């Protein structure tokens, strides 16, 4: 296992290196002139040229990349071109907000999706299976802005159970932000719930057909013991992958949900940066999301080996 983890860490390093080159290259070819965007349309050519020189935009691209990558590794992510504030505190604050929302959503849709998927598998081709499958597919196809607006209309405005806006303070703790997280987390969970339920159902049905499960039944083991010790241990392997991939999406891809609720997450920060062509902010936010995807996949592979000893992750 230790050797496998070391190999994966080397692979993650290569992935991050390639991602940094791609991200840096793409940001250099965004339409528009960064200096003109910062100074405005009425800026003189001399002022624009001076700002480009100050920001180092006139240097060769490979020199700019080496300088940026070196500073990024050392923790110096530069200053925002629009707000002039240090990028690192801005990104980390939004990352903390996204982590709170992601954690809340995972606590809702992962256990519920697994439970519904197992019920659908055990009641295969019966009305509970059809009901769960139909509802889960409807949730997957329902756009987040539609479900979000419906939840706001019924639960926030109609019943007044939760606040309709989730614009929390930057230094809010999890307990302080909790009332503002529930509606966005439910909105996110409606989409993730369908994937988890469908994946768990499929994996459980496949495992239930295996001989060792039937042998456990014939030995007279209690149904709950057969389910937990012999079935779920293997049927949840595909679900682990879905959850791991979902972590990266939860941390940086909830742009629609964050916009609907006004939630200050990392995805919304990236949209803000792209609209204003704030290159340091775009680069730092994108690299953080790539790193989260990479390490969440590593965690999923390690869990594979823990759930199923037959998988030799070290080879």
Report the share of the chain in percent with pLDDT over 90. 4
* Token output for 309: 């000893």
**Selection from 302, 307, 128, 306 nearest residue 235 by Cα:** 307
Is residue 300 within 8 Å of 25, Cβ to Cβ? no
Question: In the predicted model, what is the mean pLDDT of residues 133-143?
Answer: 79
The model's pLDDT over 223-244, given as tens digits with 9 standing for 90+, comes to: 666 777 667 777 777 777 778 7
Q: What radius of gyration, in Å, describes the C-alpha atoms of the chain?
A: 24
Q: Which residues make Cβ contacts (< 8 Å) with residue 90, sequence separation at least 6? A: 80, 83, 269, 281
By CB atoms closer than 10 A (0-12, 13-18, 19+), residue 291 is: middle
In contact, 110 and 243? CB cutoff 8 Å: yes
Structural domains of the chain, with CATH? 2-73 (no CATH), 87-307 (1.10.3720.10)
pLDDT computed for residue 18 by the predictor: 93
What tens digit of pLDDT does each residue of 273-297 get? 888 888 888 989 889 988 988 888 8
Torsion over CA: 155, 158, 161, 165 (sign): positive
Judge whether residue 299 has pLDDT over 90.
Answer: no
Name the region of 74 (left: φ>0; alpha: ψ -120 to 50; beta: rest): alpha
pLDDT, tens digit (0-9, with 9 covering 90-100), for 76-104: 888 887 888 899 998 998 888 888 888 88
Residue 266 binned pLDDT confidence (cut-offs 50, 70, 90): confident
């Amino acid at each position: 296992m230790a050797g496998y983890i070391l190999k994966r860490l080397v692979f993650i390093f290569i992935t991050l290196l390639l991602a940094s080159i791609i991200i840096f290259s793409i940001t250099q070819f965004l339409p528009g002139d960064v200096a003109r965007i910062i100074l405005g349309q009425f800026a003189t050519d001399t002022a624009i040229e001076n700002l480009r020189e100050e920001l180092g935009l006139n240097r060769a691209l490979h020199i700019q990349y080496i300088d940026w990558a070196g500073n990024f590794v050392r923790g110096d992510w530069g200053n925002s071109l629009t707000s002039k504030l240090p990028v690192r505190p801005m990104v980390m604050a939004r990352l903390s907000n996204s982590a709170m929302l992601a954690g809340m959503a995972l606590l809702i849709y992962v256990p519920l999706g697994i439970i519904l998927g197992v019920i659908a598998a055990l009641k295969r081709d019966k009305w509970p299976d059809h009901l769960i499958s139909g509802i889960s597919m409807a949730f997957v196809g329902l756009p987040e802005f539609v479900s979000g607006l419906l939840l706001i209309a019924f639960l926030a405005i109609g019943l007044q159970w939760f606040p309709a806006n989730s614009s929390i303070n930057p230094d809010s703790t999890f307990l302080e932000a909790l009332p503002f997280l529930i509606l966005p987390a439910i909105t996110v969970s409606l989409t993730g719930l369908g994937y988890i339920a469908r994946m768990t159902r499929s994996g459980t049905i496949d495992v239930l057909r295996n001989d060792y499960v039937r042998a456990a039944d014939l030995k007279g083991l209690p149904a709950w013991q057969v389910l937990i010790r012999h079935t779920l241990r293997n049927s949840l392997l595909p679900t682990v992958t879905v959850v791991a991939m979902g972590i990266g999406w939860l941390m940086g891809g909830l742009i629609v949900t964050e916009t609907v609720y006004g939630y200050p997450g990392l995805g919304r920060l990236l949209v803000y940066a792209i609209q204003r062509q704030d290159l340091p902010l775009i680069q730092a936010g994108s690299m953080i999301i790539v790193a989260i995807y990479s390490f969440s996949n590593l965690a999923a592979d390690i869990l594979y080996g823990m759930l199923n000893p037959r998988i030799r992750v070290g080879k």
